[in-house]
């Protein structure tokens, strides 16, 4: 058994404080499989239980959950799957382990571009793929994704693997917007501008910018906020950089989703839908903003001050479902141009 499958098999059941036996008996439970770290979602589930009396049982893993659900088949206990990226969302749908979320609440709250046209998934929160720019060496305060291939940045860009799901989504958005031929040309240009072989994670790109190895790092919005506010050892990396919200030349900033899916064989379907709708509610959306440093999908929710400090997010209008359809092409191009070599 692989490490990933061992992780997927390790269930962590949350025993939520203040949950009375009668409340569980009266209202039941809901089983959640999640790619989100337990410490990030536990406050949400505790609040949901406090409000509804529904007990939340959680299985958390870094990969393999959709394969686990497929193997479990009709006997799967999963009601809801929480993901961290459109890649995980798409993999679950392709595995055939989901069913449509039929909810007027979700249809009303979550903008259409952040929902599956067939109802198989919905976005619950957003993050943007942005630039960590050196405060000392980068003077411009705006940039396009297309510009990352400009030779003026030769030897000045740091990035994690091009096959990582976060970069795959960005590259897929480029394919969907410009076509495969132009995307290939662009990827060759970005590769030529790399300061080093793609490696590490988003935090490490900020570290390398701070160390002077590169001038631009590519990362998600929430990592910078976590470095600035949550980890004293990494705070200097954030302090040496600033976040620039890039845009496509003919559009806005690329965003990705933390998504939610309803399991195909959900034994507690009604409670699963209750949880999904609750996660789109005002309380949960504010918690996503303040605890996870993400952008809410619900309008009218106050952004965390650190995230608001990046400037106004003008999200690209391309439907996330269209980006998902270009994931395979993007992955193929990464290998074709030898991006990670």
- CATH value at residue 202: 3.40.190.10
Rounded to the nearest integer, the mean pLDDT of the chain is 91
Label residue 324 exposed, middle or buried (CB < 10 Å: 0-12, 13-18, 19+): buried
Model pLDDT for residues 274-298, shown as the tens digit of each residue: 999 999 999 999 999 999 999 999 9
pLDDT score for 6: 38
For residues 138 and 207, membership in a common domain is answered with: yes
Give the DSSP letter string of 260-304: EEEETT-TTHHHHHHHHHHHTSHHHHHHHHHHS--EESSTTPPPP
For residues 268 and 157, membership in a common domain is answered with: no
How open is the CA angle 113-266-319, to the nearest 5 degrees? 10
For residues 322 and 297, membership in a common domain is answered with: no
Range of the structural domain that residue 61 is part of: 3-125+257-308
Residue 211 lies in a domain: yes
For residues 132 and 277, membership in a common domain is answered with: no
pLDDT score for 36: 84
Using CA atoms, how far residue 154 sits from 147, 180, 215, 243, in Å, is: 11, 23, 10, 20
The Cα–Cα gap between 284 and 257 comes to 15
Domain total of the chain: 2
C-alpha of 336 from chain center: 26
Give one word for 28, left, alpha or beta, with left for phi > 0 and alpha for psi -120 to 50: left
For residues 104 and 52, membership in a common domain is answered with: yes
Residue 104 lies in a domain: yes
For residues 213 and 292, membership in a common domain is answered with: no
For residues 300 and 318, membership in a common domain is answered with: no
Residue 99 lies in a domain: yes
Q: pTM of the full predicted structure?
A: 0.88
The Cα–Cα gap between 36 and 17 comes to 20
Contacts of 19-23 spanning 24+ positions with Cβ under 8 A:
19/49, 19/53, 19/55, 20/53, 23/53, 23/55
- Which residue from 269, 272, 248 is spatially nearest to 260, judged by alpha carbons? 272
For residues 273 and 303, membership in a common domain is answered with: yes
For residues 120 and 149, membership in a common domain is answered with: no
For residues 244 and 268, membership in a common domain is answered with: no
pLDDT score for 230: 84
For residues 210 and 267, membership in a common domain is answered with: no
Q: How many residues are there in the chain? A: 341
The Cα–Cα gap between 49 and 211 comes to 45
For 230, other C-beta atoms within 10 Å of its C-beta total 11
In the chain, which stretches have pLDDT less than 70? 1-27
Residue 341 lies in a domain: no
Residue 151 lies in a domain: yes
For residues 112 and 196, membership in a common domain is answered with: no
Residue 236 lies in a domain: yes
pLDDT score for 27: 63
């Amino acid at each position: 058994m692989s490490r990933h499958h061992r992780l997927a098999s390790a269930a962590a059941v949350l025993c939520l404080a203040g949950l009375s036996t009668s409340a569980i008996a009266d209202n039941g439970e809901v089983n959640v499989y999640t790619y989100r770290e337990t410490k990030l979602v536990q406050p949400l589930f505790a609040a949901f239980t406090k409000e509804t009396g529904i007990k939340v049982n959680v299985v958390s893993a870094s990969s393999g959950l959709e394969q686990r659900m497929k193997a479990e088949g009709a006997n799967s206990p999963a009601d809801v799957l929480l993901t961290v990226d459109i890649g995980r969302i798409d993999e679950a749908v392709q595995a055939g382990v989901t069913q449509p979320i039929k909810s007027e609440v979700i249809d009303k709250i979550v903008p259409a571009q952040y929902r599956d046209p067939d109802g198989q998934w919905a976005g619950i929160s957003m993050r943007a793929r942005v630039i960590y720019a050196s405060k000392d060496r980068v003077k411009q305060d705006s940039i396009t994704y297309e510009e990352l291939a400009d030779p003026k940045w030769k030897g000045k860009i740091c990035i994690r693997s091009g096959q990582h799901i976060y970069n795959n989504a960005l590259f897929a958005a480029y394919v969907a917007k410009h076509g495969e031929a132009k995307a290939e040309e662009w990827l060759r240009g970005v590769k030529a501008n790399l300061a080093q072989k793609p490696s590490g994670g988003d935090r490490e790109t900020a570290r390398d910018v701070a160390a002077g190895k590169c001038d631009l790092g590519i990362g998600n919005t929430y990592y910078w906020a976590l470095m600035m506010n949550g980890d004293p050892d990494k705070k200097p990396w954030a302090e040496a950089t600033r976040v620039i919200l890039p845009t496509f030349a003919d559009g806005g900033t690329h965003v990705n989703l933390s998504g939610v899916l309803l399991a195909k064989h959900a034994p507690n379907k009604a409670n699963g839908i209750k949880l999904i709708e609750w996660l789109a509610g005002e309380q949960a959306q504010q918690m996503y903003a303040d605890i996870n440093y993400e952008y809410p999908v619900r309008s009218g929710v106050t952004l965390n001050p650190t995230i608001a400090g990046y400037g106004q997010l003008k999200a690209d209008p391309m439907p996330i479902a269209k980006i998902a359809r270009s994931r395979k092409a993007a992955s193929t191009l990464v290998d074709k141009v030898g991006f990670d070599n």
